[in-house]
A = this chain, B = another copy of it.
Amino acid sequence: MTRKINVGLIGAGRIGRLHAEHLAFRIPQANLLAVSDILLQAAQKCAADFDVPMATRDHQAIMENPAVEAVVICSSTGTHAHMIEQAAAAGKHIFCEKPIDFDLARIDRALAAVEKAGVKLQVGFNRRFDPNFQRVRELVAAGKIGQPHILRITSRDPAPPPIEYVRVSGGIFLDMTIHDFDMARYLIGSEVEEIYAAGGVMVDPEIGQAGDIDTAVITLRFQNGVVGTIDNSRQAVYGYDQRVEVFGSGGVVRAGNDYPNTTIVSDGQNVHRDLPLYFFIERYTDSYIAEIEAFIECVQQDRPSPVTGIDGRIPVVMGYAARKSYAENRPVRLSEIAPA
């Protein structure tokens, strides 16, 4: 049996609290030592709820705490890159929520700092740890569907975020599709070369006024020849719709949605069942636990990160390519955004 890893949490908002709960109660190998938030009350409530011995408004207290071996960064996006650099300088292993940053140069500086410090960095693409998608990847990687030819991802949220959030979100491609870009790379195991994005404002005109779109269909061309398509909507009234399909020379593999129960009713009208799990908190609970567990294990056992800094960087490049493609209505190569 291996020793426990001491962890510090930076940011006690919704996602921070989620990780705090898992670190506290679900991952015996982790020891959550401290939590910081610029709102001291949030840090204190988090500490009280999840038995964390130290709460602070100053993340430096965590960075400087020699007992802390690893940090979990859940502060606002604009601070991620800086936090990574600080943590790396302090020799701490890093779990960072996605995205690392919207600025590729800042991402590169943060990754360089990580590299130089020799610490581990895992980016929070939690869907890679979902049992459905893991099984798909496993089957694809094992050649069960032969050589992949076509990828299909459906990814629709139950409701759009507040319009204030939309304004600073970086746009649908960098905020929402970014998860699907990661999923595409994860499932196919090859890089995307070119992207074509179509879509529009169909859900809420306010989203359009904020300079964004809410509905999109994206075509991906991979280096290994696979063609993929992603469709996104900010509003699926029936709940979170998260499905993938990989088709290949030897067959097809599909993952469907998760439901709160298997109960089916037939009455005089129709055959019906309850809607799928509502949103990411419900649907991806297990994957949030599994990603943090994987992080703790990779630190503990000195194994490579399952979601590296490069895995964090490339979907941002893809997001910019999609944005440019949509703006100019033409396929855009990733090399236009980030020359190799």
Question: Interface on A for B, CB 8 Å cutoff?
Answer: 25-26, 28, 49, 131-132, 134-136, 139, 144-147, 149-150, 152, 154, 156, 196, 198-200, 202-203, 215-217, 219, 221, 225, 227-229, 231, 233, 235-239, 241, 247, 249-258, 260-276, 329-331
Contact = CB atoms under 8 A, between A and B. Distances in A.
A72 B106 CA distance: 55
Contact of A251 (B200, B238, B255): B238
B275 A266 contact: yes
A278 to B, nearest CB: 12
5 contacts: A131-B260, A145-B265, A198-B219, A227-B231, A253-B265
B221 A198 contact: yes
A318 B135 CA distance: 38
A237 B250 contact: yes
Contacts of A221: 198
A238 B219 contact: no
Given A149-B202, A198-B219, A229-B231, 14 more contacts: A25-B25, A135-B263, A144-B267, A156-B247, A196-B331, A200-B227, A217-B219, A217-B227, A217-B228, A219-B219, A238-B268, A241-B252, A252-B265, A252-B266
A235 B144 CA distance: 16
Contacts of A257: 262
Contacts of A329: 331
Nearest to A235: B249
B252 A227 contact: no
Contacts of A266: 238-239, 251-253, 275-276
Nearest to A238: B266
Contacts of A135: 260-261, 263, 274
A177 to B, nearest CB: 14
Copies in the complex: 4
B272 A271 contact: yes
A252 B241 CA distance: 10
Contact of A270 (B145, B258, B272, B330): B272
Given A139-B263, A331-B196, A268 B237 contact: yes
Most buried by B among A49, A239, A258, A331: A331
B249 A202 contact: yes
B250 A144 contact: no
Nearest to A140: B265
B237 A267 contact: yes
A135 B263 CA distance: 7
B267 A217 contact: no
Contact of A255 (B200, B228, B263): B263
B262 A132 contact: yes
A264 B253 contact: yes
Contacts of A250: 237, 267-268
B252 A236 contact: yes
A279 to B, nearest CB: 15
Contacts of A262: 132, 255-258
Contacts of A156: 247
B263 A251 contact: no
A231 B150 contact: yes
A24 to B, nearest CB: 8
